Amino acid sequence: MSAGLRVRGLTTTFETSRGRAVAVADVDLDVAPGEMLGIVGESGSGKSVTLRSIMRLVHPPGRVTGQVEWQGRDLIAMPPEELRRVRGGEIAMIFQEPMTALNPVLPVRLQIEENLVAHTALNGRERRARAVELMNLVGIPAAERRLDDYPHQFSGGMRQRAMIAIALASSPKLLLADEPTTALDVTIQDQILKLLLELRDRMAMSVVLVTHDLGVVAATCDRMAVMYAGRVVETGPVAEVFAGPRHPYTRGLLGSVPRGGAERTLLRSIEGTPPSLTDMPAGCAFHPRCSFAIERCRQERPALTATSGTGQAACYRQDALAEAEPIL
């Protein structure tokens, strides 16, 4: 997959007073050109750190190892100067909270132009014209007039659109979106997601979308990866994973989603809490919370293996899950 993103054995650790915390452990991911991959999981499962690790935005005491191949080049081994040309130019990122990611003392125009200065040969007048074009592209009304406004003068949805405009400034081929609809109301969330889908198609861009919302994944993504305790525990086409999850954690996430219908039913929950990153249980990290666990699960960590479909799951009980009562 030389034209896309190929991640192998991505591991991110942090040295803490309680010992080494493994935030991301042996993550393997593939993103094809033009594909939208959703990454889901509880808070602390390693989703955001995975995106930052791909971009090499983790700094000491954090340490990133593994292989991140982008169009045949390894980003982890890449010299810093070459990496700076890739970041923002070929691969862009939308950070989780626009009010903290945007600089509050600089007008939005300067923040868009910063990307253009680094990655294009445009002059001042051309950069301003490109900034207007980008703000129109992401649906910010009266773009020319609002160029010199500051982030606090924008609403939450408009700030998120400004973040997308900055990310798209140099026409990247891969967009890493870290919960781009967090804290937005449902109407604005829907607008932002439709915008991302439209931009993906228009710019032939791949997207990796981190989210808590399985409904968002169902509506927008081609494939999904489920993370738990820093590891990918299941991956596959969205429709296939929803129809027949092959990991108990995925099954638990799907069971916690409210369902429509006249009859009232209790939401299912996943008992217990995620493990500490500095003190992982032996075997499968999910086994203390898993009703399907057997002795082998407590002793040996399962690797990602092919499911009966086209996906992969890190579970010894895939057959039992296949025979279990459907969740949805």
List, for residues 266-313, the tens digit of each pLDDT value: 777 888 899 999 999 999 999 999 999 999 999 999 999 999 889 999
In this prediction, residue 133 carries a pLDDT of 93
pLDDT given for residue 266 in this prediction: 72
What is the pLDDT averaged over residues 83-95? 92
Please tell me the pTM assigned to this model.
0.91
Using alpha carbons, select from 248, 244, 237, 257 the residue that is nearest to residue 311.
237
- pLDDT, tens digit, 9 for 90 and up, residues 99-120: 888 999 999 999 999 999 999 9
Q: Are 312 and 328 in contact (CB under 8 A)?
A: no
3-state secondary structure 99-114: HHHCCCCCCHHHHHHH
Q: Are 195 and 161 in contact (CB under 8 A)?
A: yes
Q: Where in the chain are the domains?
A: 246-323
Contacts of 119 (CB under 8 A, 6+ apart): 85, 88, 89, 169, 170
E-assigned strand segments in the chain: 5-16, 19-31, 36-40, 62-70, 73-74, 91-94, 174-178, 206-210, 223-228, 231-237, 305-306, 312-313
